[in-house]
Chains A and B, each alone.
Chain A
C-alpha cells in the first residue's frame, strides 16, 4: 500500500540553511547537504528546499546547492521559492531536483503550469497554495508573495484550476496555522483533498506527533510537511513515524 509521507522543509537563503542553529553532530549547521543527509538517515520520505534568497543576483546559488545535494542524497527533492518561468524550472530539474514548486508565478501566469506540465511531466510540477481563512467563514483565500498579497481567489476553485492545468501535486499551507503549533488545519485540508484527484501535502501548524495522526486520520491527505519543528529537533521524523505506525497509519518505517 502507498504510505503517507513525512516531509521536512528546509529554508535556504544564499545557499545556507536558515533557522537551523542548534544542530548537534553536524559539522556545519547551515549546510543544506549535511541537513539533507541527516533527514535521509532519519527516514524522511522526501525533502523540500524553499529558497528564500532575496537578492536576484544570488539566485543561482540554489542550483549549486541542489547539485551538491542530488549527488549525495538519493531521495526525492522538491525545490521551490522564486520560480518564475520555464527556464527556472528546467535549471532546477537539470541540477537534480525531482519536483519544482511554483506559487506566485502560477497565480500570475497560470499558463506556466500547463506549459511546465507538458514539457516536464505533471509528476514534477507542484503548485504551492498559501491559504488564509476569511473571518468567520468556511472559505479560504489564496495569498501570494510569501503571504503578503491577498489575491481574493477562492482556494478550492484555485486548487481545481491548477489540477486541470496539469499540476501533479498541491502543497497546501494554512497561513492561519503556520508557526502556531496548533495542528494542521483539518477543515481546509479535507476540503482541498476532496475537491481534487491529485495528491495534496498538508503544511502549517504541526507541533506534536498527534497533529500528524489527526491530519492523516481525518483527511485523505497524502503527505504532511513541517519545517521548524524538525529544525529545532523538537520532534524527530523517526519518532513521528513510529507513533503513526502504532496508530495504524500506513507509513514507511
Chain B
C-alpha cells in the first residue's frame, strides 16, 4: 500500500491520481496505523511551513512518519513535503520540521526581476554521481523541465544528498535523497510525462 499523508494541506488528489496510474493500492490517509503499515509513504504539500508542522502535530503524525522512515521503506516529500524534511524554515523560525536532514529553508530574495513565487517550468540539473539520482531519475534526461511553484527553497545541503539542482537567480536544491528519504521541490504530479515518469520510478523503488 502506498499512503499519501493527508494533513489537510493542498491538493492530495492530483498526487494520488498520478500514483494510481501505476499502482492499485493507493490510500490518502491521516491515520497513524496506515502510515506505519505503508510500503511507501508520500508527504505532499503546499502552503506554509509552520501551518503544516502544526497540523502534523495536531494529527499526531510526526512520530509515525519518523518511525516509518526509520524502517527504511521509501519516503517521498513533495514541495513543502521536501522542505519539512529539514530542521527549520525562514517561514516560521520557531517551529521545527522533521529535522531528518541538515540544512535550512530560506526565502527567495524577490525583486522586480526575480518574481516570487518561483512559478513555472524550470530545468533540473542532475547530480549524476549520486546513485540514487540514477534511480529516481531513471529515463529522465538531464535538464528536463518540471513544474515548480514555491517561495522558499533549500539553498544548501551536504553535497552527497543532492539529486538535482535548479537555477533561479542562484542555484537551489531541487531534489534530495538520504538513504530511503527522497524529496523533490517541484511537482511531479503536475509535470506531465516527465513527472509521471519520476512517480513511476519512485513506485518501482524497493
A interface residues, Cβ below 8 angstroms from B = 1-5, 40, 45-46, 67, 70-71, 74-76, 93-98, 118-124, 168-169, 193-200, 220, 222-223, 252
Contact = CB atoms under 8 A, between A and B. Distances in A.
Contact of B116 (A5, A195, A198, A223): A198
Q: 3 closest Cβ contacts across the A-B interface?
A: A121-B47, A197-B110, A199-B115
A1 B115 contact: no
Most buried by B among A2, A67, A118, A169: A2
Contacts of A74: 14, 17-18, 189-192, 195-196
Interface in B179-206: 187, 189-192, 195-196
A1 B122 contact: yes
Chain B contact surface mostly: mixed
Contacts of A40: 192
A223 B47 CA distance: 22
A70 B14 contact: yes
B14 A220 contact: no
B24 interface: no
Given A40-B192, A169-B117, A2 B122 contact: yes
Interface of B: 10-11, 13-14, 17-18, 46-48, 110-123, 145, 147-151, 167-168, 187, 189-192, 195-196
A197 B149 contact: no
Contact of A197 (B47, B116, B195): B116
A124 B46 contact: yes
Contacts of A197: 110-112, 114-116
A216 B121 CA distance: 16
Contacts of A96: 11, 13-14, 17
A67 B12 CA distance: 12
Given A197-B112, A197-B116, 18 more contacts: A2-B120, A5-B120, A45-B120, A70-B14, A74-B14, A74-B191, A75-B147, A75-B192, A98-B149, A98-B190, A118-B48, A119-B47, A120-B47, A123-B150, A195-B112, A197-B111, A220-B112, A220-B113
Given A76-B149, A197-B111, A1 B167 contact: yes
Contacts of A75: 147, 190-192
Contact of A199 (B10, B119, B123, B190): B119
A193 B112 contact: yes
B76 to A, nearest CB: 16
A244 to B, nearest CB: 13
B153 to A, nearest CB: 13
B117 A98 contact: no
A3 B116 contact: no
Contacts of A46: 120
B157 to A, nearest CB: 21
Given A74-B190, A74-B195, A3 B121 contact: yes
5 contacts: A5-B120, A5-B121, A74-B189, A199-B117, A252-B121
A153 to B, nearest CB: 21
A98 B118 contact: no
A193 B113 CA distance: 9
Nearest to B46: A121
Contacts of A97: 11
B173 to A, nearest CB: 16
A160 B13 CA distance: 33
A70 B13 contact: yes
A128 to B, nearest CB: 16
A192 to B, nearest CB: 11
A194 B111 CA distance: 9
Contact of B119 (A168, A195, A252): A168
Contacts of B196: 74
B119 A123 contact: yes
Contacts of B187: 76
A98 B11 contact: yes
Contacts of B111: 197
B14 A98 contact: yes
A3 B122 contact: yes
